[in-house]
Amino acid sequence: MPELPEVEVLRRHLEGAIRDKVVRKVEVRRARSLRPTSVGTFVRTVAGSKFTGLSRRGKYLLFSLQVTATKKPLPLLGHLGMSGRMYLLPKRAPLPKHAAVILDLGKHQFIFEDTRYFGRLTLDTSPIARLGPEPLENARVPTDFDEGLSRSKQSIKMKLLDQTLVAGLGNIYASEALFRAKLSPRLPASQLKPEQIARLWKSIRQVLTEAVSCGSTVPLNFSGTGKRDGLFYFGRLPEAPDFYEERLQVYDRAGKPCLRCGTTIQRLVQGNRSTYFCPGCQKQ
DNA sequence: CACCATGTTCCTTG
DNA sequence: CCAAGGAACATGGT
């Protein structure tokens, strides 16, 4: 469930629940989920430490832990990949099929579940250094974004997925931001004029901000025990079945009318991934 | 069986 | 060294 808004909503839900909890025991069921950290190192290092905070950078979660004996900070990096989920589960509840890492916190256990195992929970925090600017913390267009676009002939859609120009956008919100900015996903990045870049940056921030606030007001089910799965952009509330339809303007809406102009939304493939756009609204 | 899926990284080619 | 394109990773849904 992972783009910036979903990760941020998860962070808000999780932070209070794990703060000050001590990791009594560590169980690793999938060594791959820790890469490149080894199981032995991970278990030895994390066991006995205490959660002191949870922050986010792009789509990454940064767990702040403290080694009890030495009081030294111990950062843990989490990424949900395509199908990762993190939540607390009562101690003796049955474990999900794809539980990758389980941290015993006493009354509850912290579960990192990941069906496809593309995500990770690791001691290696180096990926953070390669990330571009944080969209919600930069009201003005950052230089990295501006210059990154100017020296690429790739399509603007592809560049939005490159985490070094702006951190946190994924396939859904890249399409949504371009629709909002009224820019064609096929535009070569270097062809964007300053005015268009400014409009795009603003749209990115608006789309992400709305998604975060939307996710924050929804009674999410991160525990994985209910019927809905916590993937809030697809989750439909029983009391508001059209919720999802109204939230995403173009993503996964191929063949349906544009909510702004009525033109049929089209799907196209860029870099092996689907892009959705309105040919009427996004001519340039 | 086919194709699709919210992501990143590695390998090749130019 | 860089940019760009594509496959790989792994599982499940339709």
Q: Which are the catalytic amino acids of A?
A: 2-3, 59, 273
Nucleotides on chain B that have an atom closer than 7 A to a protein CB are 4-9
Spatial distance from the CA of A72 to the C1' of C12 (Å): 41
Q: Print pLDDT tens along chain A (284 aa).
A: 689 999 999 999 899 999 999 999 999 999 999 999 999 999 999 999 999 999 999 999 999 999 999 999 999 999 999 999 999 999 989 999 999 999 999 999 999 999 999 999 999 999 999 999 999 999 999 999 999 999 999 999 999 999 999 999 999 999 999 999 999 999 999 999 999 999 999 999 999 999 998 876 555 555 444 434 433 443 334 444 444 446 899 999 999 999 999 999 999 999 999 999 999 999 98
- Six token digits for residue A97: 């099929």
* Dist CA A158 CA A160 (whole Å): 5
Q: Nearest CA to the C1' of C10 belongs to which residue?
A: A116
What pLDDT score does A215 carry? Answer: 78
Please tell me the predicted confidence (pLDDT) of residue A238: 42
Phi, psi of A205 (to 5 degrees): -65, -40
The token pair at A181 is 């900015």
DSSP A109-161: EEEEEESS---EEES--GGGGG----GGG-SSPPHHHHHHHHT--SBHHHHHH
What pLDDT, on a 0 to 100 scale, did the predictor assign at position A230?
38
Asked whether A83 and A115 are in contact (CB, 8 A), the reply is yes
pLDDT, residue A255, reads: 96
Whether A143 contacts A194, CB under 8 Å: no
Q: Which nucleotide is nearest to A233 (CA to C1')?
A: B6
As a whole number of angstroms, the distance between CA A12 and CA A106 comes to: 21
Closest residue by Cα to residue A127 from A80, A82, A60, A65 = A60
- Taken in order A95, A232, A245, A226, the sign of the CA dihedral is positive
Q: Output the distance from A214 CA to B11 C1' rounded to whole Å.
A: 40
Strand C nucleotides, any atom under 7 Å from protein beta carbons: they are 3-12
At residue A121, φ and ψ (nearest 5 deg) are -135, 110
Contact A54, A66 (CB under 8 A): no
User: Residue A214's pLDDT is what?
Assistant: 81
State the pLDDT at residue A221.
53
Distance A107 CA to B10 C1' (A): 41
Q: Which residues contact A195 (CB under 8 A, 6 or more apart)?
A: none
pTM: 0.93
pLDDT at residue A233 in the model: 41
